[in-house]
């Protein structure tokens, strides 16, 4: 495989090509193919961007049809038939059935663009600077969003420019099972001498993706919502990774029955892996002046075509939701078994997650890398997350076939066995 040009020219900042140093040429469903024709099962799936799989035929057809009629690809934020189709699908099939009333802001196309827009709006509406965020939270790497991201790996590269305007509070479970971390947050809010500047907003992931598949309790989320209400603080759910069905509901906060003031979505929002994000906000929060927040790529029309097609294809009934629950159970049971095997071999491990957002915490990045490295050798693409990369995380497409899911899990099991010294790994 010819990788010399790629290695010579690409900045040292590259990441995933280090774990998977092959040249990919094709992708379909839950499978990637490299230049030598070798197939891999994809449990990374764009870190949660390909919930409907690679090159999903329904979405590809909608995009190709739109292009074939010379549909508008770029139009700044002008109205297009693509935008209307997206808004209509979102309203009819997602928002109305869930009794949600939101206006839509289309910022730049990345997740971090959506987070920046949401926290800017919260600050404008409340005229307060502070944003409360949680330990191990990940909300993007531009300055505003970075201030709310916990991981030092990202925070330490600003040449000393301080990332201001955010305060960290321990996430659910951070202090151990016995401590409800919201007791601490509530106490700070009620204490004139607690040192916490009254925040404009709280930003939270219901399941922390990059932070290590940390799952917040549904009661914890409900209480967080009521604390926000009681103190006139906006609640922003960052559903960029956990949204679009990953946890078994379109929005991950549906499980808790809460209604955030704002929601950010990106990653799987276009459904096809095209760059796209939006901010949903309660109508009365839409206090922007025309053009007060802009960007050249607001609302990428091709992405709105595939996003509308994804909503119509997968969210007209509850078939996908049920399938995510079913496959989530399969992954959960296999992961519990793998965690038990590791623990027995003297490498303490545990399983956690919600729906098809699941991980095995093996406590050290070293063990996790050994497992994912073995997995890649045997044809499975799977990554790690967490503060030390200690969680092997499964984000396979929600639409993965049962056969590919089983095969991927078999490879993972063989890789765990290889790492615990039980036996050589099987191959794809
Ligand atoms: C990936 C992610 C982001 C950042 O999105 P980018 O498109 O990488 O900028 C923000 N929040 C969460 C929860 C994410 O998983």
Number of alpha carbons in the 13 Å side-chain half-sphere of residue 360: 29
Q: What is the dihedral of CA 343, 347, 352, 356, to 10 degrees?
A: -100
Residue whose Cα lies nearest atom 10 of ligand 1: it is 139
Give the ligand 1 atom nearest the CA of 112.
9
Residue whose Cα lies nearest atom 5 of ligand 1: it is 111
pLDDT for the residue 190: 96
Q: What is the dihedral of CA 59, 64, 66, 72, to 10 degrees?
A: 110
CA of 138 to the centre of ligand 1 (A): 7
Q: What is the pTM of this model?
A: 0.97
Backbone angles phi, psi at 85, to 5 degrees: -65, -40
Task: Calculate the average pLDDT of the chain.
Answer: 97
Q: Ligand 1 pocket, 225 CB below 6 A?
A: no
pLDDT for the residue 1: 83
Q: Ligand 1 pocket, 238 CB below 6 A?
A: yes
CB atoms closer than 10 angstroms to residue 67:
12
Q: What is the dihedral of CA 153, 159, 165, 169, to 10 degrees?
A: 30
Q: Ligand 1 pocket, 407 CB below 6 A?
A: no
CA of 144 to the centre of ligand 1 (A): 13
CA of 344 to the centre of ligand 1 (A): 35
Side-by-side strand order, sheet with 31-34: 24-28, 31-34, 39-42, 380-381
pLDDT for the residue 257: 98
Residue whose Cα lies nearest atom 15 of ligand 1: it is 241
Q: Ligand 1 pocket, 130 CB below 6 A?
A: no
Q: Digits of tens for pLDDT over the chain (428 positions)?
A: 899 999 999 999 999 999 999 999 999 999 999 999 999 999 999 999 999 999 999 999 999 999 999 999 999 999 999 999 999 999 999 999 999 999 999 999 999 999 999 999 999 999 999 999 999 999 999 999 999 999 999 999 999 999 999 999 999 999 999 999 999 999 999 999 999 999 999 999 999 999 999 999 999 999 999 999 999 999 999 999 999 999 999 999 999 999 999 999 999 999 999 999 999 999 999 999 999 999 999 999 999 999 999 999 999 999 999 999 999 999 999 999 999 999 999 999 999 999 999 999 999 999 999 999 999 999 999 999 999 999 999 999 999 999 999 999 999 999 999 999 875 545 55
Q: What angle do CA 54, 55, 60 make, to 5 degrees?
A: 150
Mutate to test the pocket of ligand 1, among 131, 137, 140, 209 (most ligand atoms within 8 A of CB): 140
Q: What is the pLDDT of residues 135-146, one digit of tens each?
A: 999 999 999 999
CA of 239 to the centre of ligand 1 (A): 9
What is the rounded distance in angstroms from the CA atom of residue 38 to the CA atom of residue 24? 9
Residue whose Cα lies nearest atom 8 of ligand 1: it is 111
Number of alpha carbons in the 13 Å side-chain half-sphere of residue 84: 6
Place of tokens 């201001």: 164
CA of 47 to the centre of ligand 1 (A): 9
Q: How far is CA 197 from CA 128, 130, 163, 236, in A?
A: 9, 6, 16, 18
Q: What is the pLDDT of residues 344-401, one digit of tens each?
A: 999 999 999 999 999 999 999 999 999 999 999 999 999 999 999 999 999 999 999 9
Give the ligand 1 atom nearest the CA of 208.
13
Q: Ligand 1 pocket, 80 CB below 6 A?
A: no
Q: Ligand 1 pocket, 112 CB below 6 A?
A: yes
Q: Ligand 1 pocket, 110 CB below 6 A?
A: yes
């Amino acid at each position: 495989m010819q990788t010399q040009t790629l290695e010579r020219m690409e900045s040292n900042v590259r990441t995933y090509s280090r774990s998977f140093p092959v040249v990919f040429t094709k992708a379909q469903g839950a499978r990637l193919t490299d230049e030598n024709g070798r197939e891999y099962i994809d449990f990374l799936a764009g870190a949660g961007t390909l919930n409907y799989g690679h090159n999903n035929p329904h979405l590809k057809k909608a995009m190709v049809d739109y292009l074939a009629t010379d549909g508008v690809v770029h139009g700044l934020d002008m109205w297009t038939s693509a935008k209307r189709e997206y808004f209509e699908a979102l309203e009819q099939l997602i928002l109305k059935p869930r009794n949600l009333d939101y206006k839509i802001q289309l910022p730049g196309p990345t997740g971090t663009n959506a987070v920046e827009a949401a926290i800017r709006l919260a600050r404008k509406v409340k005229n307060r600077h502070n944003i409360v965020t949680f330990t191990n939270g990940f909300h993007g790497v531009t300055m505003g969003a970075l201030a709310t991201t916990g991981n030092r790996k990202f925070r330490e590269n600003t040449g000393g420019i301080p990332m201001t305007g955010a305060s960290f509070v321990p996430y659910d479970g951070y202090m151990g099972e016995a401590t409800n971390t919201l007791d601490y947050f509530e106490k700070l809010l009620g204490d004139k001498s607690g040192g916490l500047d009254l925040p404009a907003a709280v930003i939270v992931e219901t399941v922390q993706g990059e932070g290590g598949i940390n799952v917040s309790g549904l009661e914890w989320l409900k209480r967080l919502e009521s604390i926000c209400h009681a103190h006139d603080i906006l609640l922003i759910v960052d559903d960029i990774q956990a949204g679009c069905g990953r946890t078994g509901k379109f929005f991950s906060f549906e499980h808790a029955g809460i209604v955030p003031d704002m929601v950010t979505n990106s990653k799987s929002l276009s459904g096809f892996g095209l760059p796209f994000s939006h901010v949903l906000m309660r109508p009365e929060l839409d206090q922007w002046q025309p053009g007060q927040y802009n960007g050249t790529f607001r609302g990428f029309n091709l992405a709105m075509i595939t996003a509308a097609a994804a909503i119509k294809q997968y969210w007209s009934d509850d078939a996908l939701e049920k399938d995510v629950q079913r496959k989530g159970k399969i992954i959960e049971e296999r992961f519990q078994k793998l965690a038990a095997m590791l623990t027995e071999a003297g490498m303490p491990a545990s399983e956690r997650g919600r729906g098809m957002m699941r991980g095995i915490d093996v406590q050290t990045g070293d063990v996790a890398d050994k497992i994912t490295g073995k997995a890649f050798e045997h044809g499975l693409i799977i990554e790690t997350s967490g503060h030390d990369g200690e969680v092997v995380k499964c984000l396979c497409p929600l639409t993965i076939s049962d056969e590919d899911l089983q095969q991927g899990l078999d490879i993972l099991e063989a890789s765990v066995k290889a790492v615990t010294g039980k036996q050589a790994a099987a191959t794809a």
